[in-house]
Amino acid sequence: MSILEMPNPSDVLRAVVEGSVYSQPDRFTPLLRDIRSLLRSLGGDVTAGSLVNTVRQGVYFLRMAHQRRDLMAEFFESYPQATTATEILKTMECI
């Protein structure tokens, strides 16, 4: 999937958090920031599919609430499994 075809990460996350406490601006923005930070900390070839499993297992976020981890995993599930961290991050930074 080209970067031009990729959905806006903010829109993807808004759909994921709809109806949760993370839809409120004071929680949405930090969650989006944490996703961006995670993507920056990874190798660029890490795929969305592997991120789903990694985040759900709590490897990166051991102190994070389960609901928050699940929402982050659901965010990555919204992308095709082969989408790389670099591709998602580029889309985030173009917005």
Query: What local confidence, expressed as pLDDT, does residue 44 receive?
Result: 84
What is the SS3 string spanning the chain?
CCHHHCCCHHHHHHHHHCCCHHHCHHHHHHHHHHHHHHHHHCCCCCEHHHHHHHHHCCCCCCCCCHHHHHHHHHHHHCCCCCCEHHHHHHHHHCC
Pick the range with the lowest mean pLDDT from 2-6, 31-35, 68-72. 2-6
User: Whose CA is closest to 14, among 4, 5, 27?
Assistant: 27
pTM above 0.75, yes or no: yes
Query: What local confidence, expressed as pLDDT, does residue 11 receive?
Result: 92
Reply yes or no on whether the pLDDT at 84 is more than 90.
yes
Dump pLDDT digits (tens) for 44-77: 899 999 999 888 887 655 556 688 888 999 999 9
The amino acid at residue 4 is: L
